[in-house]
Amino acid sequence: MSKATAQRILNAAAELFMEKGFEAASVRDITSRAGVNLAAVNYHFGSRQALIHAVADRYLQPLCRDLELQLDDCLSHDSDPELEDLLELLVSSTLRAVEPDGSGVNLFMRLLGYAYSEVSGELRHYLLEQYAGTFSRFLGLLRERGSKLSDNEFFWRCHFLLSACFLPLSNHAILTEIEEARFGGASAVEIVLHRLIPVLAAGLRAEPDRVSEKPEQLW
């Protein structure tokens, strides 16, 4: 029963974070949706912030586990996978990680967005502490296959590309409504993710702008 209660709280939190946002959804909202009291939340999670961490772990633990296995398998059979191959692994791992959750990719991307917008940076630091190993490995493989960039340029390039994912994936429902009105059909999130692959690959292959390498030339 205790495990079932924790799961019910976690499900309610995920639903409300999707509906109201991470800042607006209160513990009172969550307890009401889950049909539990505040003591149950404190017992199972300890705090509202820990509950956000648990929602993050719900996605990132299976994603990282699956990605590590896929990378091991890919590199054991192909010593030099292309950028597109590696990005395909990330897409497939992401889809498997969010599949059991009705909120899917939308909430996952909003969670990442919140990690960057949160004033204290607490969630961002937690994610780096828990999952940096897997993503450092993955980014290292991407970097080897992209343009030769400085550390600083690669840092910004990755964040530019991550930002390109936020709008179409965190607001997928809104964009598919617009798409359906204009083109008569709506793309499933799987299709949107695969459409991102060539965009991300091109961004990683692009040479740095001359100003980013020698900013003094601007003046």
Q: DSSP 3-state assignment of 81?
A: coil
113-135 tens-digit pLDDT: 999 988 889 999 999 999 999 99
Q: What is the DSSP letter of 103?
A: T
What lies within 8 Å, CB to CB, of 108 at 6+ separation is: 59, 94, 97, 98, 169
Domains in the chain: boundaries: 1-46, 58-218
- Residue 218: per-residue pLDDT: 45
DSSP letter string, 157-192: HHHHHHHHHHHHHHTHHHHHHHHHHHHS----HHHH
Rounded to two decimals, the pTM is: 0.87
| Residue of 57, 177, 142 whose CA lies nearest to 108 | 57
Instruction: Give the model's pLDDT for residue 1.
Output: 47
The pLDDT > 90 percentage for the chain reads: 73
The two counts, helices (H) then strands (E), for the chain are 11, 0
CA distance 19 to 182: 26
- Residue 178 burial (10 A CB sphere; 0-12, 13-18, 19+): exposed
pLDDT of residue 54: 95
Does domain 58-218 fall under CATH 1.10.357.10? My reply is yes
* Residues with pLDDT less than 50, the chain: 1, 218-219
101: DSSP letter: S
pLDDT attached to residue 118: 87
Q: Give the CATH class of 1-46.
A: mainly alpha
